[in-house]
Amino acid sequence: MSESENTSKRARSASTKDLEAKLEALRADMDDIMKALGHKAEEEVAEAKGKIGETAEDLMSDLRDALKEIRKQAGTAEQVIETNTREHPFQSLLLAFGLGFVISLVMRR
């Protein structure tokens, strides 16, 4: 082998080693970027979960308040119906019979 061939082989070997080193550095940089993206994604997910949790709690609170109001109104309506039924039993009986008759007519169709 001649001197020029040895020099050429050493240059290619040095160039290959240089490329391998750059490739390894690139891989390390990509790993760092992927880790940073992973941490950012975890933070975003945690933040979204927190917001969803707060919204769900607010919604549940609103639903509880609405349910309390509905129960209160139903109790009031029940008392009014009971009072009217006791004060006017014959009219209440006729009203119940009439409603039953109308409902049966509607159900037949």
How much is the pLDDT for 5?
65
- Alpha carbons within 13 angstroms on the beta-carbon side of residue 86 total 6
- Report the 10 Å Cβ neighbour count for 84: 13
Low-confidence ranges of the chain (pLDDT < 70): 1-11
Residue 62: give the domain boundaries. 3-108
The pTM of this model reads 0.45
User: What's the domain count of the chain?
Assistant: 1
How much is the pLDDT for 7?
64
- Report the 10 Å Cβ neighbour count for 40: 10
Provide the token pair at 24: 């390894």
Q: Please tell me what DSSP assigns to residue 88.
A: -
How much is the pLDDT for 48?
84
How much is the pLDDT for 3?
64
Interhelix angle 89-108/3-87, rounded to 10 degrees, is: 130
How much is the pLDDT for 62?
93
How much is the pLDDT for 4?
61
Nearest to 53 by CA among 67, 38, 61, 41: 61
